[in-house]
Structures are given as C-alpha cells and as structure tokens.
Structure 1
Amino acid sequence: MYKFLATLIYLVTNILLRKVKVIGKENIPKNEAFIVTCNHRSMVEIIILAMALYPREVHYMAKQELFKGKLLDKFFRSVNAFPVNRANPGPSTIKTPVKLIKEHKIVGIFPSGQRADNAPMKKGAATISVMSKSKLLPAAYEGPIKFKDVIFGKEKCYIMFGEPIDSQSFTAQYKKNEAIEEITQTLESKTNTLIATLKHEA
C-alpha cells in the first residue's frame, strides 16, 4: 500500500503539479538506515517528507489512538506507521524503531510530539539514535497545512534537510544520558535554524 500511494502522490505533486521543492538533498545519507525528524504542524508534512525521500520508504512513529479498530489498524500499518503510547511509553517505543533501523530502514519521528513550530523537543529521537547507533537527519517543512491547498492552492511545499547528526560522536564524549541531552539540544537548534531559513525562502 505504501509504495502505491507514495508513487501516486509523488507523480501528482512533483511531476504534474511541480508543487514540492526539496532543499539539501545532498545531506540525505545514502545506503544506510537513519532517523529523519521534522517540525510538525499538520498531516501534510508527513506526506511531503515521504515524497522528498522517495523512492525510499519511511516508517513513521504514530500515536496509538490512530490505530483504533481493525480497519484503521490495518490501514496505518500498511502505510508503514507503527503505534506508540505517548502517555505511557513502554519498551516497544524504543524496540520497534531500533529493530527497523537494524533492518536498514528509515524511521520518521516528529520530536515535538505535537503540531506546532518551535515546540520543545522530547528526547525520544535522540534516545533511539543512541540505542541504534544511527544518524539523525533534521528536516523542516514550510508550506500549506491543508491537503486541498497543496493540490489547488498556489503556494509551494518546501522541505529542507540539514546536515546529519552522528549520535556516536556524542556517545564518544559523554555518558549516555548526557549524550541524549546534547543530541536533543543540537537537533532542536538545527531544526529551528532550518525553519527560520525556510520561512525566508518561502
């Protein structure tokens, strides 16, 4: 299901409508698994971020409330989403994304955990990066926040990728908890810089 939908949306937005502009593609790690993070204002950036990384697939961490009922559960899993209990995160919150990364897949996380620019970041992305020994790729989105505006509006969608953050360079200098804190602060700073740059670009 993911591949079909991703290809369809890619053709519509990138080729037919030419609505998506990707900046910093050279920063995307090649031939390796990584965690991609992004600011979160709506459902739109989830789709646009996936398009920016196409044809590689992104496995998104999503709140478990979306998976209620067999049909919704089946649908979201078919598009590479996996549930997380945000109120009471358990071991699977870490184990599932770490397993995906070890399978050479890309994991998508919205570290703020809520739909708002400049919201304080949680430590989940940094923790998973340390546990999986993988890089963090910071990204930012600027553009329409409603799907109808993506298709019918005149405003373009912008995705910008920053330079990857190598978690192992932090764990080599700090103890685990300190490394996670430093990585989170670095990720927040890089993301805010990307957001500010895109606001000027757009």
Structure 2
Amino acid sequence: MFYAYLRGLVAFLLWLVNGNARYHHRDRILDQKENYILVAPHRTWWDPVYLAFATKPKQFIFMAKKELFTNRIFGWWIRMCGAFPIDRENPGQEAIKYPVKVLKNSDRSLIMFPSGSRHSTDVKGGVAVIAKMAKVKIQPAVYGGPRSFKGLLKGEPIDINFGQAIDISDIKRMNDTGIEEVAERIQTSFSSLDAENADCGRTKKLNPLTYIFRIPLGLIALILVLLTLLFSYLASFVWNPEKHRK
C-alpha cells in the first residue's frame, strides 16, 4: 500500500515539475500476473519512478547500494518500497538469492539497471543469472529525456519506451558465453529503443504558462510531502520493514 502511495506521490511531483512525458509500446509489457525483470540503462535519478509508474499496478523490488539506507527517513522509504541493500564491493550470495526467492514466491517483479551506475552502457551478468535461476523473462525499457534537473524544470520532453520481452530459456548454461549472449540481447534492445525514441523527433518544451495552473496543485503536493515525511519519521521507530521482509 505504501509502495503504491509513494509511487503515485513522486509521479505526481514529477508531473508538476515537467508534465511532458509520453509512454511508448506499453502493450509490450508482460502480463501483470507474470513476474519478470524490468531492465533499463540508469540515466537519471528519476527514471526509476517513470518506469515504476508506467508498469503500474505491478510492484517491484530493487537493489540499492547500502549507503542509501543510512538516512532514517529515506532508508525507511526505500525499504518499504521493496529495496534491499547491496554492498557493491562485496555483494555476496544474498544479491542473487533474495530476488530469485521473491520472483518465484511473490507477485513482485524486479527492477534492475544492469549498467550498475548512471551514464554507463556496460551490461552486467547479474540480470542473466537471476533471470535464469528464477525462470523469468527480461523486460527491456529505456528513458529518453533530460538528464539534468534544469532540463526537467524546463519541461523538456520525456519518452519512456518498452521493448519486446527477452526470453532466455533457450540458453542452457549461464557461463561466460551464456552471460555474454544475454548481455548482447539486452544491449541490442536498448539500442533499438533509443533509436525509436530518436525517431519521435520531439523537441517542443512544455508551455511555461501551464505552470500557472499547477501552483495550487503544487501547494497541495507540498502539504502531502510534509505529512509523508512526518509520518515516515514516526513510523520508522515502530515498523521495521526489514523484519517484515524476512
């Protein structure tokens, strides 16, 4: 419930700030009853929100570096939304076992950014191993749009594009050759989706006058954010999502 609320709140805030997003080929998204790994290049701080919003009502878990959990409120937020901490220097078996368990035994899917960090184009093998062990498909997507907060505020167009699901059941072993094959399929899909976004030819920014109508809504959003912060701070003392996850 909190996941859906926070996803909606942040998506609403992004709409107030930008409001110039379009979603392409949502019909390619796998059925809501089927679990999968949603993969995309990590390009901004906000692309995970657009991806999660585009695939609603599906809910996800996701990996996050352990340093993000040090802040009481933000750490509680992302735990409530299905994040689990990963030590990038020493990820361990939990980085594989936990998402595989969730994909097999729950109705939540997994969001992964196989490039690892923002602006990277490198495709890591973790997606392939998890998908193979959990026996799920890989759903590729890309974010196209502003990569700076300044561009977001200017209302530069945003395009979220989804590709055809990638079935890796034909790959028998996840050795170096198998992982390389999966990585190539993912990267090929990313490149194709980026090309489709480029063909959209959208360059028109949002009309600044539209922001006038958003000022009252912005005040409502500010109140909601403050109440959410207060609630989250108090709730973090009485509800431990980590214990609930276990």
Secondary structure of the 1:89 match is coil
Compare CA radii of gyration and give the structure with the larger one.
2
**Is the aligned partner of 1:176 residue 2:143?**
no
Q: Deviations over 1:58-94 (max 9, x none)?
A: 2121111111254443222012211112221200110
Secondary structure of the 1:120 match is coil
| Equivalent-residue separation in structure 2 for 1:65 and 1:51 (angstroms) | 25
What TM-score results when the alignment is normalised by the length of structure 2? 0.72
Q: Deviations over 1:110-150 (max 9, x none)?
A: 00001115x21111111111111100001100112345654
CA 1:159 to 1:185, structure 2 compared with 1: closer, same or farther past 3 Å? same
Select which of 109, 113, 118 maps to 1:110. Answer: 113
Partner of 1:8: 9
1:115-194 to 2 correspondences below 5 Å: 115-116=118-119, 119-146=121-148, 149-150=151-152, 152-171=153-172, 175-177=173-175, 178-194=177-193
Secondary structure of the 1:8 match is helix
What TM-score results when the alignment is normalised by the length of structure 1? 0.87
| Equivalent-residue separation in structure 2 for 1:114 and 1:98 (angstroms) | 22
Select which of 29, 48, 67 maps to 2:50. Answer: 48
- Contact 1:60–1:81 (Cα < 8 Å) also in 2: yes
CA 1:115 to 1:17, structure 2 compared with 1: closer, same or farther past 3 Å? closer
Secondary structure of the 2:116 match is coil
Secondary structure of the 2:127 match is helix
Moved more, 140-149 or 87-96: 140-149
What is the CA-CA distance between 1:17 and the residue it aligns to? 6.7
The sequence identity of aligned pairs, in percent, is 32
Say how many residue pairs are matched.
197
Stretches of 4+ aligned residues off by more than 6 angstroms: 14-17
Q: Which amino acid aligns with 1:143?
A: G
Q: Which amino acid aligns with 1:77?
A: R
Ranges in structure 2 where 5+ consecutive residues have no aligned partner: 203-246
Partner of 2:29: 28
More strand by share: 1
Q: Deviations over 1:32-65 (max 9, x none)?
A: 0000001111211011111111222121211111
| Equivalent-residue separation in structure 1 for 2:28 and 2:63 (angstroms) | 22
